[in-house]
Amino acid sequence: AQSVTQLDSHVSVSEGTPVLLRCNYSSSYSPSLFWYVQHPNKGLQLLLKYTSAATLVKGINGFEAEFKKSETSFHLTKPSAHMSDAAEYFCVVSSLSGGYNKLIFGAGTRLAVHP
Amino acid sequence: KAGVTQTPRYLIKTRGQQVTLSCSPISGHRSVSWYQQTPGQGLQFLFEYFSETQRNKGNFPGRFSGRQFSNSRSEMNVSTLELGDSALYLCASSLPRENSYNEQFFGPGTRLTVL
C-alpha cells in the first residue's frame, strides 16, 4: 500500500528566506509523487510531479522537489519565500488500483510567511 | 479552456436530509473523481467515474453515491446526512489513461455544512 507522511503540520518563515516542506513516502513499487497547493477557499493546484524521470523536479512559482529513493523522501523547497506562498501544501502519492490511479494525500503542511 | 466547475459552492443542510452536488469536468476529460476534505480526516478519495461507470471506490458508507452522465458531468449524492458529513467536497477531472498516472485538475469545491 502507498502512503505519505508530511513531517510538519505548520511551517513559518520570513519573506525572502528559504522554504522547506518535508515529505516521506511509502510505496511497494516506483511511485508517482506530487505536491499540490491549496489557497484559502480555493481548489487544489498542482505544483509539480515526479513520474520516474529526473529526480529533481521543477514546478511552478519557483518551487522544486527532489526524489530520494534511498531516503524515501520528496521534500519541497523554494529559495525565497513570498507572501503569496502562504497556503496549505499537500504531498501526494498516486496509487494504481485496478489499473487506474487514485490520489493518496498527506495530512498537509500549512505554510505561513511573515513580512 | 474552462476549468472544473462545481455547483453549488456552498450548501447548508440539516441532519437526515439528502444532498446532491454537481461537477462539470474540463472539456475532453472523461474521468471524474470525488474527494472529501475535513479538518480531522484530511483529503480522502470517495470514488471515480469513467464512461458513466464507477471504476474506483474509497472507504465510505453506502450513503455516499455518485453517477456520471454521457457528457461526463458527474453528481454525487449523500443521503441521510450526518453532522460528520460537513466537509469540502472536491471534484477532479482527468484524461483516462490506463495503467499510468493521470494528472488530475481540481475544482474549487462545494462547502457542505450539516446542522
| Span A61-106, pLDDT tens digits | 999 999 999 999 999 999 999 999 999 999 998 876 655 667 889 9
C-alpha–C-alpha distance, residues B51 and B29, integer Å: 10
Asked if residue B97 has pLDDT above 70, the reply is no
Q: Which of A19-28, A52-61, A93-102 has the lowest mean pLDDT?
A: A93-102
Distance of residue B100 Cα from the nearest chain A Cα, in angstroms:
7
Contact check, Cβ <8 Å, B48/A102: yes
Nearest to A103 by CA among B112, B42, B71: B42
DSSP code of residue A39: -
Given the DSSP bridges, would you call strands A10-14 and A109-114 parallel, antiparallel or unpaired?
Answer: parallel
User: Could you tell me the CA-to-CA distances from A70 to A30, A55, A66, B79, B84 in Å, in that order?
Assistant: 12, 12, 12, 46, 40
For the record, the C-alpha cell of A98 comes out as 485496478
Is A97 in the B-facing interface, judged by CB distances under 8 Å?
yes
Nearest to B103 by CA among A49, A29, A66: A49
User: Could you tell me the CA-to-CA distances from A113 to A14, A84, B102 in Å, in that order?
Assistant: 5, 8, 32
At residue A108, the 3 state secondary structure works out as: coil
pLDDT, average across residues B10-21: 97
| Alpha-helical segments (H) within chain A | none
Q: How many CB atoms lie within 10 A of CB A112?
A: 13
Contact check, Cβ <8 Å, B42/A107: yes
pLDDT of residue A41: 75
For the record, the C-alpha cell of B84 comes out as 460528520
